[in-house]
Amino acid sequence: MAETNPSKTHNLRADGARLWATILETAAFGGTPAGGINRLTLSAEDGRVRDWFRDACEAAGLTVTVDALGTQYAVRPGRDMSRPPISFGSHLDTQPTGGKFDGVLGVLAGLEVMRSLNDAGLETEAPLMVVNWTNEEGSRFAPAMMASAAYAGDFTTDEILSKRDAAGITVAEALDAIGYRGAEDVGARAIGAFVELHIEQGPILEAEGKTIGVVEGGQGIMWFDGLITGFESHAGTTPMPRRRDALLALSEFALAAERIALAHAPSAVATIGEAQILAPSRNVVPGRVAFTVDVRDPRSPALDAMETSLREAATEIAERRRLEIALTRIWRKEPVPFDPAIVAAVDAAAESLGHARRRIISGAGHDACNLAAKVPTAMIFVPCKDGVSHNESESATPGDCAAGADVLLQTVLRLANAPRMEPPAR
């Protein structure tokens, strides 16, 4: 096989046109009239795109295996087969009204990396591996990102196999139905590093005119359930000062949550995504309102401070308005810092390619966030139109997709040809 002289690799590029063609070709598996994809995990459509991916990988000379949760691993040999493979990929499942890029880009760009290296006749020191993780989206089976979580040891394989969809079908049954319950133990395969290319699913890169986001980590998340208990009363007969209006209390709390997030700018976000007046009526002062709060920041201490501030706001509002505000934290996920060496490799690759770039934090969850607990990991973001994702109108340009694949390729070459890394103590 061919040589690895760096002077022969630094000008290597992915074939953006071929990548784009595979994106359009695979979009037909579950394609919707509106131009999106409905390809729920482990559905027949998911089975078909998995078959396509296996065949394409094998045609590129890769060795494809499947683990007990259906995750596909496609390996390209390296010169030193004792090194764990430098790995990359994402997921091929989609939301029920998903787009053509979320997850798909990362897997197909991974395939393109393999094809481009083949075209150039280049061998790497470490082997390479492209991965298609099962059920990133979580639309059919909860939790989302379940296969990567199981890989990282957050769940046992049996726990995941017994999860059921809304129709009562287990993950095990769904895997069997499409023939993707593999023999390989989940988490058994060593991974030297993991790099996930993904659309940003947010508006920052587009707004700032950047092509590449060098992702430094994933945010921490807190979810709260809230219930405001005031007093239902007649909209015509209850004077304003005597009201205990649960919606007005929610209004103040929502604006307080916005102020609290802005006080931790620019990284913090807080969202009241659900709010429901119980037994609403046009001429009744709302007595009870149930709501949710989603709070995120890449810094644990900021999460702590925001929780304290939210509780102080709730207490102040409840006392002043003579009602009760119950705020229950139902989930907290700590921030995920990506591996500095992998982040640096992404940054250097983007710089070498001359792409406008910025450091960024992933606002959404990704398989890479699970992997990071076990494997040196980072991500590459490219812009998506208007920040829209999880929508059939999700859109990214061929140029940005190609740029992301180029950065992935150059990152992978740097990592695979670098002196052997020891995993950091964790």
Please say whether the beta carbons of 161 and 344 come within 8 A. Answer: no
Cβ partners under 8 Å of residue 351, min gap 6? 357
Among 281, 315, 328, 393, which residue sits at the site for a copy of itself (rule: CB under 8 A)?
281
Residue nearer to a copy of itself on the CB measure, 282 or 426: 282
Instruction: Provide, rounded to whole angstroms, the least separation between the CB of residue 413 and a copy of itself.
Output: 29
Residue nearer to a copy of itself on the CB measure, 115 or 198: 198
Instruction: Provide, rounded to whole angstroms, the least separation between the CB of residue 218 and a copy of itself.
Output: 9
Cβ partners under 8 Å of residue 89, min gap 6? 106, 107, 110, 129, 130, 131, 132, 133, 196
Residue nearer to a copy of itself on the CB measure, 83 or 390: 390
User: What three-state secondary structure class fits 350?
Assistant: helix
Please say whether the beta carbons of 92 and 103 come within 8 A. Answer: yes
Residue nearer to a copy of itself on the CB measure, 125 or 294: 294
Among 12, 120, 227, 235, which residue sits at the site for a copy of itself (rule: CB under 8 A)?
235
x/- contact string, 46-75, with a copy of itself (CB under 8 A)?
------------------------------
Measured CA angle at 63 (ends 113, 141), to 5 deg: 85
Cis peptide before 143 (omega within 30 of 0): yes
Q: Which stretch binds a copy of itself (CB under 8 A): 38-46, 92-100, 227-235, 417-425?
A: 227-235
Interface positions, 284-343, toward a copy of itself (CB under 8 A): 284-286, 292, 294, 296
x/- contact string, 357-376, with a copy of itself (CB under 8 A)?
-----xxxx-----------
The reply to whether 202 sits near a copy of itself by the rule CB under 8 A is: yes
C-alpha torsion sign, points 53, 63, 146, 268: negative
Instruction: Provide, rounded to whole angstroms, the least separation between the CB of residue 267 and a copy of itself.
Output: 9
Indicate left, alpha or beta for 362 from its phi (over 0: left) and psi (-120 to 50: alpha).
beta
Instruction: Provide, rounded to whole angstroms, the least separation between the CB of residue 168 and a copy of itself.
Output: 24
Instruction: Provide, rounded to whole angstroms, the least separation between the CB of residue 188 and a copy of itself.
Output: 31
Q: Which residues sit opposite 363 in a β-bridge?
A: none
- For 159-221, give the DSSP string: HHHT-B-TTS-BHHHHHHHHT---SBPTT-S--SEEEEEEE-SSSHHHHHT-SEEEEEEE-EE
Interaction site with a copy of itself (CB under 8 A): 200-204, 207, 219, 221, 223, 233-242, 245, 247-248, 250-252, 254-255, 258, 261-262, 265-266, 268-277, 280-286, 292, 294, 296, 362-365, 387-390
